[in-house]
Structure 1
Amino acid sequence: MDINVKPKTATPTALDRVIDRPSRAEAEAAVRTLIAWAGDDPDREGLLDTPRRVADAYREFYAGYDEDAGKILETTFSEVGGYDDIVLVRDIPFNSHCEHHMVPFIGKAHIAYLPHDGVVGLSKLARVTDVFARRLQTQENLTAQIIESVNEAINPRGAAVMLEAEHMCMSMRGVRKHGSSTITHRFTGVFAEDRQEQDRFFALVRAGR
């Protein structure tokens, strides 16, 4: 049975339309086709159950299409003893898939904000990272989606997001430069306006390394 899916996000995306998902059988048939395209026999013993496993893995890899970042961040806390300085969660591990080659990129996210209306549970920032990472992505777009969700949900005085990742499309294919790292960052509010706040953010991210 076809399933109509509209990705749920806290902010508008290019996927602002209804997607007709193929059936499970169609998905598994597509995997068999790709196995044959790669040069192997989808009917040999070791590959017979691979289409089912790949379909299961895709449900996990791309679970973010069925999750809502806004709902994850909707609960905030105002009783923080007047605390109004930087809140930073750093070294949040994530893995995503490049939308150009559908191979992984793996890295860490660092998310900070200056409270205004309240604070959010620290684990929520990690969960929001996963919501957007578990989709076909570019690192630039992933950076923007995370910070826009934080801004929309908790209305901070400023927010900062930095991602560091290794892209398998660069390590495993093409130029094959293993170990190279891509860094993206974005600032809003006070962080965008004040270079000293940016420097503080970078210093906290690097502290203890």
Structure 2
Amino acid sequence: MDAIADRETKLDPALEAATDLTPAAPHDRPSRADAEDAVRTLLRWIGEDTGREGLRDTPRRVVDAYREMFGGYDLDPEEALGRTFEEVSGYDDIVLLRDIEFSSHCEHHMVPIFGKAHVAYLPDQRVLGLSKIARVVDIFAQRLQTQEAMTAQIARTIDETLRPRGVAVMIEAEHMCMSMRGIRKQGSTTTTTTLTGLFRSDAAEQTRFFNLVQRHS
């Protein structure tokens, strides 16, 4: 059985700064040549020969990979939510998107995080396209992250854009900084949650959310 560390995050003041990740302006970024030189420096630092055949194109490949893996800095999650829909025929119950798989990178060691996000909200006359929720998860995952901050960022974006009666986000993830280095505890899983609105104030709604997620886990 996985060892599970449960930590609940509820958009408290301590996370306000973490939930505001404004990308650096383009003119503040180093050039591609600078980035490739930095990769060469790291390769030399670990003791490699950057001139050998297998590593000659590695700086270029690493920069290409970083552009893809960290593309979330160039995207606006609120814009990604796009239009909302008001023709819901009076539907006002939980909308839940479960098991949204993602990969991210830890901001402390820049090693991978692999996990699943479960995102729910209680509509207030408007609903979102389901693919938009998954897109928001991807945008925040494609940035350097802590799991706690990412959980709060997803909830806050949906809450501020849609203005529903409540948002609930649960993330379950394995951190390679625990599996590959340090204590090397493979299979250890961390669970974080952020609750807003009725999901935070109403114990019955909290229970319904957790039961719906766990029922299909």
Identity %: 62
Residue matched to 2:212: 204
Q: Tell whether 2:20 aligns with 1:13.
A: yes
Q: Is 1:135 paired with 2:143?
A: yes
Aligned residue number for residue 187 of structure 2: 179
- Which ranges in structure 2 are unaligned for 5 or more consecutive residues? 1-17
Report the equivalent of 1:188: 196
1:74 and 1:153 in contact (8 A); partners too? no
Q: After the TM superposition, which residues 1-209 of structure 1 pair with which residues of structure 2 at under 5 Å, given as runs?
A: 13=20, 15=22, 18=25, 20-209=28-217
Q: Is the 1:117–1:155 contact (alpha carbons within 8 Å) kept by the matching residues of 2?
A: no
Q: Give the counterpart letter for 1:26 in structure 2.
A: D
Separation in 1, partners of 2:41, 2:23: 29
1:7 corresponds in structure 2 to none
SS at match of 2:213: helix
Q: Paired residue for 1:5?
A: none
- Ranges in structure 1 where 5+ consecutive residues have no aligned partner: 1-10
Distance of 1:162 and 1:37 partners within structure 2? 39
- Asked whether the equivalents of residues 116 and 155 of structure 1 are also in contact (C-alpha less than 8 Å), the reply is yes
The alignment's C-alpha RMSD in Å is: 1.4
CA distance in 1, matches of 2:64, 2:155: 30
Q: 1:17 Cα shift?
A: 5.9
Aligned residues between the structures = 199
Give TM-score scaled by structure 1 length. Answer: 0.92
Is the 2:115–2:171 Cα contact (8 Å) retained in structure 1? yes
Q: How many Å separate the matches in 2 of 1:205 and 1:12?
A: 24
Could you say what secondary structure the match of 2:183 adopts? coil
- Give the CA deviation at 1:14: 5.0
Three-state SS of the structure 1 residue aligned to 2:88 is coil
Listed one character per residue, the Cα deviations across residues 146-197 of structure 1 (whole Å, up to 9, x for unaligned) are 0000001110000100000000000000000000000000100000001111
Q: Which runs of 4+ in 1 moved over 6 A?
A: none
When normalised by structure 2's length, the TM-score is 0.88
